[in-house]
Amino acid sequence: MKRFEMRIDPLTQEIYYAVPFKGYSLMQDPLLNKGTCFLKEERAEFDMIGLLSDQVGNLESQLERARTNLQMKSSDLERYITLMGLLDRNETLFYAFLTKHLEEMLPIVYTPTVGLACLKLSHIIRRYRGAYISSQNVMSTERILKSVGLPDISLIVVTDGERILGYGDLGVDGMGIPIGKIALYVAAAGIHPASTLPVCLDVGTNNERLLNDPLYIGIKKPRLTGDAYWEVVERFVQGVRRTFPRALIQWEDFGKENAFTLLDRYQSRIPSFDDDIQGTGAVAVAVLKSATKLTGRPISAEKIGILGFGQAGSGVANAIVTMMVEEEGIDLETARRRIYAIDMPGLLLEGMEVEPQQRYFLQPLESIQNWPIDHSRAPNLNEVVEHAGITVLIGVSAKPDAFDAKILELLGNNAERPIVLSLSNPTSRSETTPQAVAKVIGKRALMAFGSPFDKVNYADGTSFTASQCNNLYVFPGVGLGSIVCQASRVTSRMFHAASVALSNMISYEDLLSGKLLPSLKNIREVALVVALSVAKQARDDLIGMNVSDDRLEKLIRDAMWVPRYYPYRYHPNLE
210-246 residue pLDDT tens: 999 999 999 999 999 999 999 999 999 999 999 999 9
Q: Please state whether beta strands 419-422 and 392-395 pair in parallel, antiparallel, or not at all (unpaired).
A: parallel
Contact 403, 422 (CB under 8 A): yes
Looking at the predicted structure, is the pLDDT value of residue 428 above 90?
no
How many whole angstroms separate alpha carbon 323 and alpha carbon 299? Answer: 8
Quote the CA–CA distance of 49 and 285 in Å, as a whole number. 56
- pLDDT (mean) for 205-209: 98
pLDDT tens digits, 116-161: 999 999 999 999 999 999 999 999 999 999 999 887 899 999 999 9
Whether the pLDDT of residue 548 is over 80: the answer is yes
Q: State the pLDDT at residue 499.
A: 97
Computed from CA positions of residues 190, 193, 196, 198, in that sequence, does the dihedral angle turn out positive or negative?
positive
Write down the pLDDT at residue 233.
98
Q: 3-state DSSP: the chain helix, strand, coil percent, rounded to 5?
A: 50, 10, 40
Query: Dihedral of the CA atoms 19, 23, 25, 27 (nearest 10)?
Result: 90
What share of the chain has pLDDT > 90, as a percent?
Answer: 89
- CATH homologous superfamily of 58-270 equals Malic enzyme, N-terminal domain (3.40.50.10380)
pLDDT of residue 222: 98
Q: Is the four-CA dihedral 32, 37, 39, 45 of positive or negative sign?
A: positive
Task: In whole angstroms, give the CA distance from residue 407 to residue 522.
Answer: 35
Residue 76 has pLDDT above 80, yes or no: yes
On the question of pLDDT at 2 being above 90, the answer is no
* Residue range 436-448: mean pLDDT, rounded: 95
Give the model's pLDDT for residue 200.
Answer: 98
The runs of H, that is alpha helices, within 446-489 are 475-484
At residue 384 the predicted structure's pLDDT band, cuts being 50, 70 and 90, is: very high
Q: Is the pLDDT of residue 24 over 90?
A: yes
Q: Give yes or no for residue 410 having a pLDDT over 90.
A: yes
CA–CA distance, 277 with 265 (Å, rounded to integer): 15
Does residue 287 carry a pLDDT above 80? yes
For 85-89, 162-166, 330-334, which range has the lowest pLDDT when averaged over its residues?
162-166
How far apart CA 536 and CA 556 sit, in angstroms, is 11
Give dist(CA 536, CA 479) in Å, integer. 13
Give the bridge partners for 456, in sequence order: 464
Q: Could you tell me the CA-to-CA distances from 295 to 11, 221, 289, 437 in Å, in that order?
A: 60, 53, 10, 17
Strands in 467-468's sheet, in edge-to-edge order, are 346-347, 339-343, 304-307, 392-395, 419-422, 446-449, 467-468
Rg of the chain over CA atoms, in angstroms?
24
Residue 387 and residue 379 in contact, taking contact as beta carbons nearer than 8 Å = yes
Q: 478-527: per-residue pLDDT in tens?
A: 999 999 999 999 999 999 999 999 999 998 888 988 899 998 889 999 99
Give the distance between the most distant pair of CA atoms in the chain.
84
CATH for 280-470 (3.90.79.10, 3.20.20.70, 2.40.50.180, 3.40.50.720): 3.40.50.720
Domain ranges across the chain: 58-270, 280-470, 473-541+550-559
Cite the active site residues.
110, 181
Residue 84 — pLDDT band, cuts 50, 70, 90? very high
Residue closest to 437 by CA, chosen among 463, 452, 419: 419
Chain-wide mean pLDDT for the chain?
A: 95
> What average pLDDT score do residues 369-380 get?
95
| Three state DSSP letters for 389-417 | CCCEEEECCCCCCCCCHHHHHHHHHHCCC
Burial 426-446 (b: 16+ CB within 10 A, else e): bbebbbbbbebbbebbeeebb
pLDDT, tens digit, 9 for 90 and up, residues 448-474: 999 888 899 888 888 888 999 999 999
501 neighbors 530 (Cβ within 8 angstroms): yes
pLDDT of residue 121: 96
User: What pLDDT is stored for residue 257 in this prediction?
Assistant: 87
Mean pLDDT of 32-54: 96
